[in-house]
């Protein structure tokens, strides 16, 4: 069976077979990730005793991305503070790459906070959890955003609401941009493209594939792969009226640049997936 056949089978929800050497690579990487946790998490908590900010979540995620096989390359200049990054979403590796490069926190749905291990690691990096029902009031959301900006200096959102194959770009959902309505003073929006090049479809978590199978495929993969983070020109959200206009402008810039990078038009996304990928219980209520 070819790699493409295996990829298609995984998208249908089938378990991907792993070779003996693949299991060895997976075990080595899992042990290396555990070692990083044992080193950086205690350092993080010790640092927080004497200081508000901590560099250790960023360092942990940077080295974790490398352990998983990602070789991150930053293209363009990212703003180091008072910035709201808006990015396309392909894999859980995106989080390691983006946070490891810039130290950014993330805006995520409240369900992520309840996910085992993932929710805890997200909280270490000052994730701003947004509820879909009984959403936080505007003032409370802005306060949460300000706290994350103080600690991490930047916040990232994936407005597609799910992961894709790197060849497509879904409509942007505006619910997670509500923290920019109204925008905190001085905060800019910077669109970001996460580009895996030729391996995007292999890395991508799409279709009916389980998170566990995707993690096993990535961690058992031979060799490394490039992840290019293209930081586009930032803009002021105050120049656009409301979160829908901010969303449309962000998506326009990302689509235009992604087409230029690929050298061909985007294609329709071939899979129907739930809007939330990280939580244990899926809430299928639509996001508007």
**pLDDT of the residue at 134:** 47
Structural tokens at position 114 = 């309840």
Say if residue 285's pLDDT is above 50: no
Say if residue 142's pLDDT is above 70: no
Say if residue 201's pLDDT is above 90: no
Percent of the chain with pLDDT over 70: 82
More confident site: 245 or 267: 245
Is the CB of residue 79 less than 8 Å from the CB of residue 188? Answer: yes
pLDDT per position as a tens digit, 169-190: 999 988 778 778 778 888 899 9
What pLDDT band is residue 75 in, cutting at 50, 70 and 90? very high
Query: What sign results for the dihedral spanned by CA atoms 73, 189, 202, 36?
Result: positive
**pLDDT of the residue at 192:** 98
What pLDDT band is residue 288 in, cutting at 50, 70 and 90? very low
Query: What sign results for the dihedral spanned by CA atoms 249, 251, 252, 258?
Result: positive
Structural tokens at position 125 = 């990096």
Percent of the chain with pLDDT over 90: 47
Long-range CB contacts (within 8 A, 24+) of 141-148? 141/178, 141/179, 142/179, 142/182, 142/184, 144/179, 145/84, 145/107, 145/179, 145/184, 145/187, 146/184, 148/105
User: Residue 87's closest CA among 78, 98, 79?
Assistant: 98
pLDDT per position as a tens digit, 39-55: 998 998 899 888 877 88
Distinct helix (H) and strand (E) counts, the chain: 9, 7
pLDDT per position as a tens digit, 208-244: 888 889 999 999 999 999 999 999 999 999 999 889 9
How far is it, in rounded angstroms, from Cα 269 to Cα 278?
Answer: 20
Distances (CA, A) of 137 to 130, 142, 184, 248, 280: 10, 9, 14, 23, 26
Say if residue 19's pLDDT is above 70: yes
């Amino acid at each position: 069976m070819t790699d493409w056949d295996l990829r298609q089978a995984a998208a249908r929800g089938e378990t991907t077979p792993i070779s003996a050497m693949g299991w060895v690579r997976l075990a080595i990487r899992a042990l290396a990730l555990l070692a990083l946790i044992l080193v950086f998490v205690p350092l993080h908590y010790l640092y927080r005793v004497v200081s508000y900010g901590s560099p250790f979540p960023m360092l942990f995620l940077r080295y974790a991305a490398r352990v998983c096989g990602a070789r991150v390359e930053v293209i363009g200049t990212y703003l180091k503070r008072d910035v709201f990054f808006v990015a396309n979403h392909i894999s859980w590796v995106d989080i390691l790459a983006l946070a490891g490069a810039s130290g950014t926190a993330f805006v995520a749905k409240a369900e992520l906070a309840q996910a085992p291990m993932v929710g805890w690691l997200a909280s270490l990096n000052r994730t701003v959890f947004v509820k879909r029902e009984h959403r936080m009031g505007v003032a409370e959301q802005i306060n949460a955003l300000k706290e994350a900006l103080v600690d991490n200096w930047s916040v990232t959102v994936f407005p597609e609401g799910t992961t894709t194959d790197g060849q497509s770009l879904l409509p942007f959902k505006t619910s997670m941009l509500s923290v920019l309505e109204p925008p905190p003073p001085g905060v800019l929006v910077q669109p970001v493209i996460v580009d895996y090049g030729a391996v995007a479809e292999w890395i991508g978590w799409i279709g009916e594939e389980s998170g566990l199978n995707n993690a096993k495929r990535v961690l058992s993969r031979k060799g490394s792969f490039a992840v290019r983070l293209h930081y586009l020109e930032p803009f002021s959200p105050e120049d656009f009226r409301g979160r829908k206009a901010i969303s449309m402008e962000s998506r326009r810039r990302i689509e235009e640049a992604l087409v230029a990078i690929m050298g061909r038009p985007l294609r329709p996304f071939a899979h129907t997936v739930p809007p939330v990928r990280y939580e244990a219980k899926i809430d299928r209520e639509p996001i508007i």
